[in-house]
Chains A and B, each alone.
Chain A
Amino acid sequence: MSHSPLPDAEITPALVARLLQLQDITLNQADLLHTTEHVQLLHSHAARVMRWSLDEHIEPAPEFRP
């Protein structure tokens, strides 16, 4: 899968089923449709995050302690 977020029209239940298959997850058709909506939402958020200009000097914060 590309790391580029996709527009909604390209995120189909068939694509999501293949992505889930890579994780060894199988859902019924109704759940697949709902999951597709959530994947579309995640791609819209990802588009916003990935458009942000990357500064290689800013380290990620997975162990964040303010």
Chain B
Amino acid sequence: MDATHSASAIASAVRRGEVSAVEVTRATLDHIAQYDPRYNSFTTVTAERALQEAAAVDAARARGETLPPLAGVPYAVKNLFDIAGLPTLAGSKINQQQPPASADAHLVRAMHQAGALLLGALNMDEYAYGFTTENHHYGPSRNPHDPTRSAGGSSGGSAAAVAAGLVALSLGSDTNGSVRVPSSMCGLFGLKPTYGALSLQGMFPFVHSFDHAGLFARSAEDLATCFAVLRGEKVAAPYQDMPHYRMARLGGYFEQGDAQAQAAVDAVCQALQVTQVVELPEVARARSAAYLITASEGGNRHLDRLRTQAADFDPLTRPRLAAGTTLPAAWYIQAQRLRTWFYAQAMQLFAHTDVLIAPATPCCAQPLGQTELRIQGSRLPLRPNMGMFTQPISFIGLPVVAVPLHLPGQLPIAVQLIGPPGQETRLLQLAHHLQTLSVCSAPVARN
């Protein structure tokens, strides 16, 4: 047994003694060595640590202890999470010079306490500023469904590793779409919880106003288990009945995707019998405000490094961060004011709707190096616009589960299930329901 199996299957097998955690780890390390050169998802493999954690799980079982919920499950984290003993790269060359982290990030500690086995640190866009993981320092992460294409970003390594079955779970971060975009590109279940729902302690920051921790899995059940672990909550039994939810599709701005993005939303709405279409007002303006806040906070965060080490930045990141340092404060404040207003508009929609449905990305994974998108007759810059549907939602901190669809003859693409703050369980239930209906799935891909 190895990481091509689900986290729940691995944990059950370890609990029953059908396989040892050390055996799972050795098989997983073999797969990483064999397949990751193709996808470049890992920047560091923590083999020694994983084997030590696995031995501790096996020893606990031998002593007759009740094993925690993720005992023996291989996972990895985006390399902006602190891992004790390693420098926290955040996709950069600059951070290589930083001293190693003295302790694990809060969420890594939570995974350790749940018995999960840390296999390593994963590739990302430098300082999380991108949607394609075309990292010039560590190379691009490649999509396991088609290695000529992007895995999405900025948590591209986190998505590629789970999609290729190199780990069962991974952690990432989502500021403007960095979990939901790679979930869409790599065909995975992804969760960006409510803003503030998961601790960011020990994670290298990007944009204080929007930074979220997030997670990837190949099933809704695994996503729910991992989220409960990260929250420090009891893991609930798998979902049985589906409550009746009032659901609506987001129209207007969210209808700008290509035919595949629209077809994916059609399929989810059909399966859930959703016919109502609603509109959020001023979405384009909200996205613009998110863009300004991101540039401003990101530019300010890296101001000293831009002054003294500009040449050491990734050439894709340097101009974006430098541009962000030039914004007048009035724009930033007006954008934050718009954020308050836009949140109130969304809450008005949620007064009579439980779940909103929208595409995650305007199209599926595009070839690495491509710079333009052609959608509905328009040519758009690709790198910023892969987040056009995710950015307005993280702008106001709403929880989202990205659910993957594999339409015939096409690369995967995801749909966003969006809820009001604190309603992750509702979204995870729906994701599980869609998986049960075989509308959504996340098979291992090793193309």
Contacts and interface: CB of A to CB of B under 8 A. Distances in A.
A45 B338 CA distance: 13
B289 interface: yes
A52 B285 contact: yes
A22 B322 CA distance: 12
B144 to A, nearest CB: 31
B290 to A, nearest CB: 9
Which among A35, A50, A52, A61 has the greatest number of chain B C-beta atoms within 10 A? A61
State the main secondary structure of chain B at its contact with A: helix
B398 A23 contact: no
Contact of A64 (B195, B291, B341): B195
Interface string B324-361: 11111011011111111101000000000000000000
A25 B284 contact: no
Which 6 residue pairs of A and B lie closest in terms of their CB atoms, listed nearest first?
Answer: A60-B336, A38-B323, A34-B319, A45-B288, A66-B421, A35-B319
A61 B306 CA distance: 27
Interface of A: 1, 3, 5, 16, 19-20, 22-27, 31, 34-35, 37-39, 41-42, 44-46, 48-50, 52, 54-55, 58-62, 64-66
A66 B398 CA distance: 8
Interface residues of B, number: 45
Contacts of B319: 27, 31, 34-35, 37-38
23 contacts: A3-B330, A16-B326, A22-B326, A23-B303, A23-B326, A25-B306, A25-B322, A27-B318, A31-B310, A31-B318, A34-B319, A38-B322, A41-B384, A42-B292, A44-B288, A49-B288, A49-B338, A54-B337, A60-B337, A61-B343, A64-B209, A66-B196, A66-B398
Nearest to B304: A24
A23 B340 CA distance: 29
Interface string B258-298: 00000000000000000000000010110011011001000
B194 interface: yes
Contacts of A61: 209, 336-337, 339-340, 343
Nearest to A24: B307
A48 B288 contact: yes
B212 to A, nearest CB: 11
Contacts of A20: 322, 325-326
B336 A39 contact: no
Which among A23, A44, A66 has the greatest number of chain B C-beta atoms within 10 A? A66
B331 A3 contact: yes
B310 A49 contact: no
B186 interface: no
Contacts of B322: 20, 25, 27, 31, 35, 38
B340 A58 contact: yes
B396 interface: yes
Given A38-B320, A48-B288, A65 B343 contact: no
